[in-house]
């Protein structure tokens, strides 16, 4: 669709605004993997309520919006092996690298952090190679 | 106040992810599919998100957080192998199914069993990550 990039830009601005509120308001970096991971491994125990509220809103607001958007299908694979393997890789990888698309990508690049820029280049590259191999060479995804 | 701001930020984040199409895995895999039918949407999402964040980072120089305390200090600029190995693993998982931590949480309410399965596996991975990190250090430091 031609309007995809407009919706992308509007959605992106909202994501950036969310990060700005979290930073200027609470003095924290809005990184999804850090907020979830900190609850799971206990490193974020001191601020768990704040994290839980953030995650609750992150689940509920899109759910309430679904009836009003034209396309909300996630088009997610039905293959349980792929889902579990990918979930484990994303879980371990984001915590070992200390950031994901929101933390390293949005929050890191916007402050010209060298770590954020390098991480983003690497995970986009690794994702690109994965899609190229599994879609075009092996035809798995 | 702290909780109200977290609520607003989480809600805006979720709305942005849904509107931008980042909860749609075909768009994400389409962005990573450089050799196929490439979808540039993610670049607009990233670009759009970086604009308010860059302004926010500039404002951190002249203000303090609304709820008090101080802003996070710039991270140690050292790149390190954990950043590299972790990002490679994350990128592989991201490419496999087209989900990263933000969008998968945002679609818990409507993403079906597949999304729940991914969230559970991701949570297990996050719980294992400290052990993985230590094992990686032990192995590489032994050389």
Start-end of H helices in chain B: 2-20, 25-32, 41-59, 80-97, 101-106, 112-141
What is the percent of chain B with per-residue pLDDT over 90, rounded to a whole number?
82
Q: Please check the confidence at residue B46 and state whether its pLDDT lies above 60.
A: yes
What was the pLDDT predicted at A1?
Answer: 57
Task: List the structure tokens of B35.
Answer: 């050799």
Give, for A38, the enclosing helix (H) or strand (E). helix A32-41
Q: Across chain A, what does the average pLDDT equal?
A: 94
Q: Where are the domains of chain A?
A: 4-137
Contacts of B43 (CB under 8 A, 6+ apart): A8, B31
pLDDT at B128: 96
- How is residue B92 written in tokens? 């592989």
For the stretch A12-43, pLDDT in tens is 999 999 999 999 999 999 999 999 999 999 89
Q: Looking at the 3D structure of chain B, how many domains does it have?
A: 1
User: Taking phi first (over 0 means left), then psi (-120 to 50 degrees means alpha), and beta for anything else, what does residue A69 get?
Assistant: beta
Instruction: Report, as an integer, the average pLDDT of A101-122.
Output: 96
Closest-CA residue of A relative to B94 is: A127
- Other beta carbons within 10 Å of A76: 24
Name the most confidently modeled range: A84-88, B34-38, B73-77.
Answer: A84-88
Residue of chain B nearest A93, judged by CA positions: B86
Half-sphere exposure of A12 (CA within 13 A, CB side): 23
The per-residue pLDDT for B143 is 66
Confidence of residue B74 (pLDDT cuts 50, 70, 90): confident
pLDDT at A78 over 60: yes
- Shortest Cα distance from B132 to chain A (angstroms)? 8
Task: Indicate if ipTM > 0.85.
Answer: yes
Residue carrying structure tokens 């190679």? A129
B49 touches chain A (CB under 8 A): yes
**What are the Cα distances from residue B114, in Å, to A79, A86, B15, B68, B81?**
8, 12, 21, 41, 32
**Location of structure tokens 């993985």:** B132
**Residue A17 corresponds to which tokens in the numbers above?**
């605004």
Could you tell me what percent of chain A has a pLDDT over 90?
Answer: 86
Nearest beta carbon to residue A76 from set B46, B83, B115: B115
Residue span of the structural domain in which B134 resides: 2-141
Q: Work out the minimum CA distance from A33 to partner chain B, whole angstroms.
A: 6
Angle at B41 between CA B60 and CA A106, to 5 degrees: 20
Chain B hits for A59, CB-CB cut-off 8 Å, are 14, 105-106, 108-109
Mean pLDDT of B98-106: 98
Closest residue by Cα to residue B36 from A124, A137, A126: A137
Distance CA B25, CA B19 (A): 13
Q: Is the pLDDT of residue B78 over 90?
A: no
Band (A2; pLDDT cuts 50, 70, 90): low
The answer to whether B16 contacts A12, with C-beta atoms less than 8 Å apart, is: yes
Q: What pLDDT digit, counting tens, does each position of B8-45 carry?
A: 999 999 999 999 999 999 999 999 999 899 999 999 99
């Amino acid at each position: 669709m031609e309007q995809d990039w407009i919706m992308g830009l509007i959605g992106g601005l909202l994501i950036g605004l969310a990060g700005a509120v979290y930073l200027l308001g609470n003095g924290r970096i809005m990184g999804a993997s850090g907020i979830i991971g900190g609850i799971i491994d206990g490193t974020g125990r001191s601020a768990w309520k704040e994290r839980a509220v953030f995650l609750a809103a992150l689940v509920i607001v899109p759910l309430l919006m679904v009836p009003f958007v034209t396309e909300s299908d996630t088009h997610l694979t039905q293959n349980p092996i792929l889902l579990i393997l990918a979930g484990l890789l994303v879980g371990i990888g984001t915590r070992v690298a200390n950031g994901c698309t929101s933390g390293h990508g949005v929050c890191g690049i916007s402050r010209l952090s060298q770590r954020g820029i390098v991480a983003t280049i690497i995970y986009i590259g690794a994702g690109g190679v994965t899609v190229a191999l599994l879609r075009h060479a092996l035809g798995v995804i | 106040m702290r909780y109200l701001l977290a609520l607003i930020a989480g809600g805006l984040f979720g709305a942005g992810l849904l509107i931008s199409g980042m909860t749609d895995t075909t768009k994400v895999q389409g962005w990573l599919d450089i050799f196929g039918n490439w979808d540039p949407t993610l670049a607009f999402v990233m670009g759009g998100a970086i604009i308010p964040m860059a302004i926010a980072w500039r404002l951190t120089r002249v203000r303090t957080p609304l709820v008090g305390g101080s802003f996070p200090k710039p991270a140690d600029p050292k790149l390190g192998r954990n950043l590299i190995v972790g990002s490679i693993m994350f990128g592989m998982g991201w490419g496999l199914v087209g989900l990263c931590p933000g969008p998968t949480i945002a679609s818990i309410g409507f993403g079906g069993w597949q999304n729940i399965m991914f969230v559970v596996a991701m949570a297990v991975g996050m719980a294992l990550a400290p052990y993985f990190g230590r094992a990686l250090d032990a192995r590489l430091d032994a050389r």
